[in-house]
Chain A
Amino acid sequence: MRLATLLITVMVALATLPAQGKDTVRIAFIGPLTGGVSANGLGGRNSADLAVRLRNADAKAPYTYELVVLDDECKPNVGVQVATKAAADNGIVAGVTHYCSTVAMAAVDVYRKFGLPVIVWGAVLPDITYANDYKEVHRVNGTMINQNEAAARFMTGLRFKRWAVIHDTTDYGKGHNKYFSEDLARSGGQILGTFGVTADQQDFSAELTKIKELKPEVIYFAGLTPVGVRIRSQMDKLGVKAVFQGTSGIVSDAFIEGLGPLAEGVVAFREGAPAEKLPGGRVFLDAYTKQKYPDDPEAYGPFAFAAATLIMDAIDKVGPDRRKVRAELNRTKDYDSVVGKITFDDHRQNAVPLITRFVVQDGKWVVWEDSEYASGKRALVKK
């Protein structure tokens, strides 16, 4: 019985929200708060919450905002459920929604059906915006298309010609392989061989021996850190001399820790700049630190912050009306945000997403432009 009393007290305390004078407008945040990718979901949640707190602290803002946070568990069925909850609630004007691509794909139909304008803050699958023509669905972060377009153009710009591709067989690896291959063909590169591997494969000598015979200049790897570490170290053991090029999946400290000096000269690409390089990134990070959130904002936190701010600006301007907010969001052009300028194209996809190029130099991910590789002091291919 005492346990029950304690629980009730905790819950009542959590449920009591500070009441204020101005009209309160509710917006939703949906992301994975539990499960395997919850770190990203919590980072996004905190960032959106930060945006709301900053706005509520501003005395000039016409409305008080309340963030309704819902957990999609990174599962499409739960995603549809919470999307319905948010969209069917007429008190919710707009939403900052989804980190996981499958969940976003499942939920966009719900937003369309109930007419809730949303901005996707983390899911990268192109189809979320491009496979439909839903005026409700916007996206601030870039897609796999943007990342690979930039990667292909950049690498061919460095005069590389021959690639071998290794990708994992998840949606992430498969998608990257598809778009990179297309963009590379357009930029004039040549792919000598493509190899699919499972996300938990340990031994890559079969693939790498084949690749050694093909003599590519670059090995393009689409997958996440653990497999990337294994492939790069086994390349060394088998004497495969090629530049190792990765995707956003390997841009992590764990990748460098796992490889040590072998990581030197690995290149990779990611949507968005590191927060401190973003136009308003410093301000964002400072404000984030000041709120003492227990978790990091992670890579996509700034996008959730930008999405929430964009929505609140739209509501401040046209009032809490879904249709008007939708029209206002559709019109977004050259909007200044912490992730750079936001302009939505005809599919409401942010048309000017920032893609950052990284290279490992002395055990750190360094932005290419700041590296000794760009200045010519070091070279990716040793002569």
Chain B
Amino acid sequence: MTSSVWPALAALVVSAVGVLALLLAEKQWAVIAIIIAAGAAMFLARRFDWNERIRRSGAANSRKVFLAAMVLVVGAAFVMREHNFALLMLCTVMLMMVAGLGLTLQFGQAGVVNFAGAAFFGIGAYAAAVFATKTALPHLLVILAGGFFAALIGSVLVLPLLRTRGHYTALITIAFGILFKTFLEVNDALGGPQGLKVPGFVLFGHAFNDPIEIDEETEWSFYLAYAGLSLLLVAAAYAFVRRLERSWIGLAFDAVRIDETAASAFGVNVAAWKIAAFSIGNFLIGVAGAAYAMMTGFVAPTSFTFGDSLILVSIVILGGLGSALGLIPAALVVVVLPEKLQAIQEYRFLLFALLVIVILLVRPGGLLPRALRDYRVGAPR
């Protein structure tokens, strides 16, 4: 059973054009029109049963579609080369996806709840701030160090995590998030409540914070460089998480999530896999935090509150628990929509929350729920 690449490719191109239009839309009516169009597209796709065809075509040609998606992002970034703000949003979406990938691995695949996502994001951000100012570590390594530290500090939570289940685990992570923020506020060495400046990213002598001068007349946004970096990170994280999911490790994660007792009866080491998922997830979240801090140039404790952790969790749930692909539309909705609704000022979160509720009413399993594993002969993998 082979499937043509075209349905998936067409869906991809249509979505990319929509996203580009949303990022560049400035007028309120344009934003509304795009939201309605997206809703209509979803409705039509369901009506004519395109979803299944697109899914199958995408699954059968995953490598090609993945490459096409990367090409499309590069193309979109190029179109926006002089629009600083739109590029900043694009980078933010991609970095939030990296963090979301980490969280979905913990939450949706291995079933380890983590309500301290923002804290681990913050650990990465602060690690980047400290390493980039105090050491001469190359910045690519600084970003990895952010992930490493998030995983390392997360390991203090391992013991309580293994001893608790469900709501109690959630409570532990919430407590950790609050602890982290308070620690930052009383700790003057890390800037205290006022926060720290973070130097911009430098790679092989090119400072990412400098605009890219093409000639006398044209100057491309410096965010273009960050878009490249974010794309690299998100592509690597996505490929990594997807491969993990499809491997025997992913199977072990699923077993641990669905039934711990049954899993251990079959010889799956529940504790080891929980620790693995938690640490890998924190690593990804920390990497995202480090890159984000270097891009925005400033870290402060107020950016890493419990509320921000909930936003990360909501990205994961909105996309569909455990679904890596669903993170793309979910991150877009959560990051870009509140921003595009700035014109209605203090009411924007009201409307944004309403939209999220409407989406979950229509699609209770998330925007793009995780597909079931299919082991039949010839099934797309």
Write the residues of chain A forming the contact surface with B, with a CB cutoff of 8 angstroms.
3-4, 7-8, 11-12, 14-15, 33-34, 38, 42, 45, 69-71, 74-78, 80-82, 84-85, 88-89, 101-102, 105-106, 109, 113-114, 125, 127, 169-171, 174
Among B101-109, B147-155, B249-257, B294-302, the stretch in contact with A: B294-302
What would 17 A/B residue contacts be, using CB atoms closer than 8 Å?
A3-B358, A14-B343, A15-B29, A33-B345, A45-B345, A75-B303, A76-B296, A76-B299, A78-B303, A81-B92, A85-B85, A85-B339, A85-B342, A105-B194, A114-B84, A125-B194, A169-B186
- Per a CB cutoff under 8 Å, which of A70, A76, A84 touches B342? A70
Please indicate the chain A residues that have their CB under 8 angstroms from the CB of B298 in the complex. 76-77, 80, 105-106, 109
A15 with B346: CB separation less than 8 A? no
Question: B342 to chain A: which residues have CB within 8 Å?
Answer: 69-71, 82, 85
8 nearest CB pairs, A to B: A15-B28, A106-B298, A88-B84, A171-B193, A33-B346, A77-B303, A76-B300, A102-B300
Given the interface pairs A88-B84, A169-B185, the reply to whether A74 lies near B195 with Cβ below 8 Å is no
Count: A-B pairs, CB below 8 Å: 104
Chain A residues in 8 Å Cβ range of B88: 81, 84
* B: contact size bracket: 35 or more
Which residues of chain B come closer than 8 Å to A15, judged between CB atoms?
27-29, 343
Q: A81-B339, A88-B85 are in contact. List 4 more A-B contacts (CB 8 A).
A: A11-B351, A71-B342, A71-B346, A106-B300
Bits for B174-215, please: 1 = Cβ < 8 Å to A, else 0.
000000000001100000111101000000000001000000
B195 interface neighbour in A34, A45, A69, A76, Cβ under 8 Å: A76
- Chain A binding site: helix, strand, loop or mixed by DSSP? helix
Looking at B193, B296, B339, which has the most chain A CB atoms within 10 Å of its CB? B296
> A11 is contacted by which of B209, B344, B349 (Cβ under 8 Å)?
B344
The interface residues of chain A lying within 8 Å CB-to-CB of B370 are none
A69 to B341, CA, bound (A): 11
Judge whether B195 and A106 touch: CB under 8 Å: yes
Cα–Cα distance between A69 and B347 once the two chains are bound (Å): 12
CA distance A3 to B358 in the complex (A): 10
Q: How far is the CB of B348 from chain A (nearest CB, A)?
A: 7
Q: Which residues of the other chain, A, contact B194 by a CB distance below 8 angstroms?
A: 101-102, 105, 125, 127, 171
B32 interfacial contact with A, CB 8 Å: yes
Among A8, A80, A82, A125, which residue has its beta carbon within 8 angstroms of that of B32? A8
Query: 1/0 per residue B322-346: CB within 8 Å of A?
Result: 0000000000000000010011111
Instruction: Name the residue on A nearest B211 (C-beta).
Output: A113
- Docked-complex contact B344 and A14, CB < 8 angstroms: yes
Bound together, the chains give a CA A169 to CA B194 distance in angstroms of: 12
Beta-carbon contact of A7 and B303 below 8 Å: no
Is B354's CB within 8 Å of the partner chain A?
A: yes
Q: With CB as the reference atom, state the residue of chain A lying closest to B222.
A: A113
Partner of A12, one of B29, B89, B185, B296: B29
Q: Are B297 and A174 in contact (CB under 8 A)?
A: no
Instruction: Give Cα A169 to B187, complex, Å.
Output: 10
From known contacts A84-B88, A88-B83, A174-B192, infer whether A71 and B348 are also in contact, taking CB-CB under 8 Å. Answer: yes
Nearest chain A CB to B122 CB, angstrom units: 10
Q: Is B137 an interface residue (CB 8 A)?
A: no
- Tell me if B10 is interfacial: C-beta within 8 Å of chain A: no
Task: Write out the residue numbers on chain A whose beta carbons fall within 8 Å of the beta carbon of B346.
Answer: 33-34, 38, 42, 71
Residue B36 is within 8 A (CB to CB) of chain A in the complex: yes
Least CB distance, B350 to chain A, in whole angstroms: 9
Contacts A89-B85, A106-B195; is A76 near B186 (CB within 8 Å)?
A: no
Contact A106 B345 (CB under 8 A): no
Complex contact B345–A84 (CB within 8 A): no
Checking B29, B192, B302, B345 against A75 with a beta-carbon cut-off of 8 angstroms, the contacting residue is B302
Closest chain A CB from B36 CB (angstroms): 7
Q: Are A7 and B351 in contact (CB under 8 A)?
A: yes
Report A-chain residues with C-beta under 8 Å of the C-beta of B297.
Answer: 80, 106, 109
